[in-house]
Structure 1
Amino acid sequence: MAVQVTPLNSALVVVYQAGLTALGAPIKRQKSLNYLRFDASDQALHDAAHALFGLSQNPVLDVLYRKTFELTEE
């Protein structure tokens, strides 16, 4: 059985530090940018995330790239 893969959605998730707890642990928040181009390079997405969040005073902790696909049998 052959499986067909159909791209549905993609999202760039940026995790940033929004402050510190009373014990000094980082408070993490995240922001998602949805419906990105599937053919965008990983380097371009990484650079875009750091360029956008470089305008913020909050440091970037992680950059995640999530893709969603539909798998169907032919």
Structure 2
Amino acid sequence: MAVIATPVEATLQIVVQTGTGDNGRPITRTRSFRNLKTSAPDADVMEVAKALAGLQNYPVDSFRKVVEIELTEQ
């Protein structure tokens, strides 16, 4: 049987470093921006992520585009 993968939802996540723990490891928090178009090109998502990074109070550690996909059988 063929499996059909259908994108359902996409989220832009910006991981920021909010400090350093007692052991010297970074403490991070994730800022999530939901309702991203699942068809949005990665380059466009990166442009928006960089613009939003400038609005953060903490240094940005990484950007993530998370796409939830529904799998069905045909």
TM-score range, shorter chain: 0.7 to 0.9
AA of the residue aligned to 2:53: F
Gap regions ≥5 residues in structure 1 = none
Cα offset, 1:10, TM superposition: 0.9
Aligned to 1:35: 35
How far 1:53 moved relative to its partner? 2.1
Task: Give the aligned CA root-mean-square deviation in angstroms.
Answer: 1.5
1:26 maps to 2:46: no
User: Mind listing any 5+ residue stretches in structure 2 that lack a counterpart?
Assistant: none
Mean Cα displacement is larger for which, 29-38 or 49-58?
A: 49-58
What is the number of residues matched between the two proteins?
74
Cα distance per residue 1:22-50 (max 9 Å; x no partner): 45432211111112111211111112112
TM-score by length of 1: 0.83
Percent identity of the aligned residues?
A: 38
What's the secondary structure of 1:35's corresponding residue?
A: strand
User: Structure 2-normalised TM-score?
Assistant: 0.83
Which amino acid counterpart does residue 45 of structure 1 have in structure 2? V
1:73, 1:31 → 2: CA distance? 34
